Amino acid sequence: MDAVWQHARTSDSVRRIYDIRLALTLRHYNVTDFATANEKHFRGFGFSRVWNPLNLLKPLNP
């Protein structure tokens, strides 16, 4: 938990605390690739890859 509060102090918003806690928990359990629609909030936590799976969707042609 100390790492969470350490990041929270430097964070621009208290709302990011959930993202910070999730990222640190995933890294604690050695998750290296993370798919999220909110890529920018999870960069800088040591993931090898942070990507948006929604970018893989092709637009439907009516």
Residue type, 42: F
* 26's tokens: 């995933």
Please state, in angstroms and as integers, the Cα–Cα distance from residue 54 to each residue in 6, 11, 43, 51, following that order: 31, 26, 17, 9
Answer for the pair 31, 45: CB distance below 8 angstroms, yes or no. no
Alpha-carbon gap, residue 49 to 59, rounded angstroms: 24
Q: What pLDDT tens digit does each residue of the chain (62 aa) get? A: 677 667 666 656 667 888 988 999 999 999 999 999 999 999 999 999 999 999 887 666 65
pTM: 0.70
